[in-house]
């Protein structure tokens, strides 16, 4: 249920209603909007609870939240969430561009990429130190050394670092270095990891599982929000279909669909979504045209020798050209990089 307070309801009335919600055994989640305050009351709803809350001081109405996800839903919060993290702003009219190598391979490779993507206008640096690989025989990432290299790249360029955490037990370590914690597609439904990442106090980029529905993605986001973390970015990175010409199938429609249901910003990853360098620039442009709040793009100094995902990585030159294209589309749809 959502307890919608009247315009001008006092702080005391809001506090009173939070206590009432909690006395009924429900979890409260308060959202101070620009026009009015709403209190989401989460838990098993009973009709008599609804009636009792409705007669509280300063209450305008109590309405049921129809969506299975609650705190993530537009019903609870109408204003779009904007995630700010240093030079990275994602949401509403802000388009964030998170670019960098799939994996941190060496200091030289990561620093060169960080300098190049910054010069071309990226607003955050990505790079995996802990890599979730399909095969146990593939490169697993530099781990701790990779985190240190990312920190060095941040120190030099000022770009905030987006890096993946693959296990709940690694959250304190990764959060000590990262500015944004990435939860990978394979871990979207690792609920202990979502809770730990949510509690770490850093923004979280949550990637859609390749076979997860959008409702499941939003319910996964709900775990992070319920840990008290409002800074959640959803990421469409493609799903598994019968199509084999692209690595995954990238549904651009996810962007407007999610925008119609959630206040959370939506990032699109055309690198994993297509799996082919040649398809990335135009798919990135399509995502921005569809209203994406951010892009995640893999960039490598020499894709041919990359230890992971070289076939979908942009060279520095290709990244520059992609940025030029993105700028034109962003302007047309009222977004600013
Ligand atoms: C990545 O971003 O490098 C990655 C592993 O992506 P995903 O979790 O979407 O496969
Ligand atoms: Mn990758």
Residue-wise pLDDT for 7-49, tens only, equals: 999 999 999 999 999 999 998 988 888 778 999 998 877 778 8
CA angle 38, 39, 42 (to 5 degrees): 140
Ligand 1: which atom is nearest the Cα of residue 309?
3
Ligand 1: which atom is nearest the Cα of residue 235?
9
For residue 251, the model assigns a pLDDT of 98
Residue 321 in this model has a pLDDT that exceeds 80:
yes
Pocket test for ligand 1, best of 103, 212, 272 (most atoms within 8 A of CB): 272
Ligand 1: which atom is nearest the Cα of residue 182?
2
- Answer for the pair 294, 95: CB distance below 8 angstroms, yes or no: yes
From the CB of 185, is ligand 1 less than 6 Å away?
yes
Pocket test for ligand 1, best of 185, 270, 299, 311 (most atoms within 8 A of CB): 185
Order across the sheet with 59-63: list the strands: 27-32, 37-42, 2-5, 59-63
From the CB of 118, is ligand 1 less than 6 Å away?
no
- Answer for the pair 240, 210: CB distance below 8 angstroms, yes or no: yes
Ligand 1: which atom is nearest the Cα of residue 185?
8
Taking only the tens place, the pLDDT of each residue in 246-293 is 999 999 999 999 999 999 999 999 999 999 999 999 999 999 999 999
Ligand 1: which atom is nearest the Cα of residue 308?
3
Domains of the chain and any CATH numbers: 2-63 (3.30.70.1140), 83-332 (3.20.20.70)
- Distance, in Å, from the CA atom of 7 to the CA atom of 143, rounded to the nearest integer, reads 51
The bound ligand whose nearest atom lies closest to the alpha carbon of 238 is 1
From the CB of 43, is ligand 1 less than 6 Å away?
no
- Distance, in Å, from the CA atom of 65 to the CA atom of 5, rounded to the nearest integer, reads 15
From the CB of 272, is ligand 1 less than 6 Å away?
yes
- Answer for the pair 192, 168: CB distance below 8 angstroms, yes or no: yes
Q: How confident is the model at residue 93 (pLDDT cuts 50, 70, 90)?
A: very high
Taking only the tens place, the pLDDT of each residue in 218-239 is 999 999 999 999 999 999 999 9
For residue 331, the model assigns a pLDDT of 98
Span 180-199, average pLDDT:
98
Q: Give nearest CA residue, ligand 1 atom 9.
A: 185
- Distance, in Å, from the CA atom of 115 to the CA atom of 131, rounded to the nearest integer, reads 23
- Answer for the pair 146, 127: CB distance below 8 angstroms, yes or no: yes
From the CB of 207, is ligand 1 less than 6 Å away?
yes
């Amino acid at each position: 249920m959502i307890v919608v307070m009247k315009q001008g309801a006092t702080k005391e009335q809001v506090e009173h209603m939070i206590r009432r919600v909690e006395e009924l055994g429900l979890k409260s989640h308060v959202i101070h909007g620009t026009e009015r305050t709403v209190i989401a009351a989460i838990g098993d709803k009973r009709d008599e609870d609804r009636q009792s809350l409705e007669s509280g001081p300063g209450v305008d109405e109590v309405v049921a939240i129809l969506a299975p996800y609650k705190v993530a839903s537009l019903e609870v919060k109408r204003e779009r969430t904007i995630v700010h993290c240093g030079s990275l702003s994602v949401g509403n009219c802000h388009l964030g561009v998170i670019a960098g190598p799939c994996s941190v391979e060496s200091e030289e490779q990561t620093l060169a990429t960080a300098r190049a993507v910054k010069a071309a206008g990226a607003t955050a640096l990505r790079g995996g130190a802990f890599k979730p690989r399909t095969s146990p025989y593939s490169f697993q990432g530099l781990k701790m050394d990779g985190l240190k290299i990312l920190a060095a790249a941040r120190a030099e360029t000022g770009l905030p670092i987006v890096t993946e955490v693959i296990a709940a037990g690694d959250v304190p370590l990764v959060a000590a270095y990262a500015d944004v914690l990435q939860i990978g597609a394979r871990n979207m439904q690792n609920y202990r990891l979502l809770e730990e990442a949510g509690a770490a106090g850093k923004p979280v980029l949550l990637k859609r599982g390749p076979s997860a529905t959008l409702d499941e993605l939003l319910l996964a986001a709900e775990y992070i929000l319920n840990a008290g973390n409002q800074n959640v970015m959803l990421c469409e990175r493609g799903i598994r279909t019968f199509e084999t010409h692209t690595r995954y199938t990238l549904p651009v429609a996810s962007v407007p669909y999610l925008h119609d249901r959630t206040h959370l910003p939506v990032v699109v990853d055309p690198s994993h979504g297509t799996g082919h360098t040649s398809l990335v620039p135009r798919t990135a442009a399509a995502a921005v045209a569809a209203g994406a709040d951010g892009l995640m793009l893999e960039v490598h100094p020499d894709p041919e020798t990359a230890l992971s995902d070289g076939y979908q990585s942009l060279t520095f030159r290709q990244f520059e050209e992609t940025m030029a294209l993105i700028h034109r589309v962003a302007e047309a749809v009222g977004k600013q990089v």
